[in-house]
A and B are shown apart, each in its own frame.
Chain A
């Protein structure tokens, strides 16, 4: 164990035991190469096995370990202790979500929003599955950035609009809907347009841009929402001016 330690003030809530949440402090060994997730795992292994949190890959791919670090949404596998040392680090569950237990949030509402935008390739032809759907590099480039989302939900915790309007579809779900709308192999834009064009869809966004600022994969959800607003607006005028036309 190194001589230096760092304090983690961790949000605790055990619904079977606690009436309300508390903050519990742990002194953790300080290593320059440790991330906050390492420190949480050290607490779980050596101090308090009841501490609950989600994690998996430890390398910014799975999107499981998002938490509020000193009030900012971050992936704990990418937040180094050395960036906070020697001050204490406050670790809390992502805001804008109900808490299941300790640092674990309830994701049901997000999962329902995500599936509602049908984030998969929709085809209206009966082409055999074996047949390839070829794409040019420029067709791939059109949506690739938005396909990098790992559903870590940092953007939902950062979004001030979700705080005021919990029904808002949210940055990641809209970015993924837009990703499939931009995909040359997809034919499901019309099926996604009703939800994107609803009050709970793209119009819930006032372009604050915090989602893009916190995104660990540089997806730029705010940019996706702006592009989706243009697409939805074109569709709205098309429906107004050509009500008989095919969308």
Chain B
């Protein structure tokens, strides 16, 4: 090998890897529990359903867990999209592609964080 290019890909891959666990294991469970199980258990009164869900989400450990799941899943998604685009021939876009993909993930995570804090 004549030349080697140093990279911080290990950092992005670690987020991708952790996000993969979140997206594969925790995200479906969270959707199932908050989308189906809890609403069915809470009865038909929509107002009280909403209040109880808000009180659940505003419990700090739940906020942190939700943020972790959303943050890591977003970076998992961004990393995969970046590599798919590279395989589609955008390898030359390099840093610009990273800024677009990871920037979108970071923006999504920040927005999710703000919503979770303000609830």
Interface residues of A (CB under 8 A from B): 112-113, 116, 160-161, 164-165, 167, 169, 194-195, 197-201, 203, 206, 229-230, 232-233, 235-237
Contact = CB atoms under 8 A, between A and B. Distances in A.
Nearest to A109: B1
A134 B92 CA distance: 49
B7 A203 contact: yes
B60 interface: no
A164 B87 contact: yes
B71 to A, nearest CB: 18
Contacts of B86: 164
B10 A236 contact: yes
A203 to B, nearest CB: 4
Contacts, number: 54
A175 B64 CA distance: 39
A197 B10 contact: yes
A138 to B, nearest CB: 26
A237 B4 contact: no
B87 A198 contact: no
Contact of A199 (B2, B9, B87): B9
Contacts of A229: 10, 13, 17
Query: Which among B6, B13, B86, B89 has the highest number of chain A CB atoms within 10 Å?
Result: B13
Interface in B4-19: 4-11, 13-14, 17
B11 A236 contact: yes
A164 to B, nearest CB: 6
B91 interface: yes
Given A164-B91, A165-B91, A200 B4 contact: yes
A203 B79 CA distance: 12
A224 to B, nearest CB: 16
Nearest to B7: A199
B83 interface: yes
A195 B4 contact: yes
Given A199-B7, A232-B10, A116 B1 contact: yes
A160 B1 contact: no
Query: Which among A112, A113, A236 has the highest number of chain B CB atoms within 10 Å?
Result: A236
Interface in B63-104: 83, 86-87, 89, 91
A237 B14 contact: yes
B3 to A, nearest CB: 8
A164 B91 CA distance: 9
B92 to A, nearest CB: 11
Nearest to A204: B9
24 contacts: A112-B1, A113-B1, A164-B86, A164-B87, A164-B89, A165-B91, A194-B4, A195-B1, A198-B4, A198-B5, A199-B5, A199-B6, A199-B7, A200-B3, A200-B5, A203-B9, A203-B13, A206-B83, A206-B87, A230-B17, A232-B10, A233-B14, A236-B8, A236-B11
Contacts of B11: 236
A164 B8 CA distance: 21
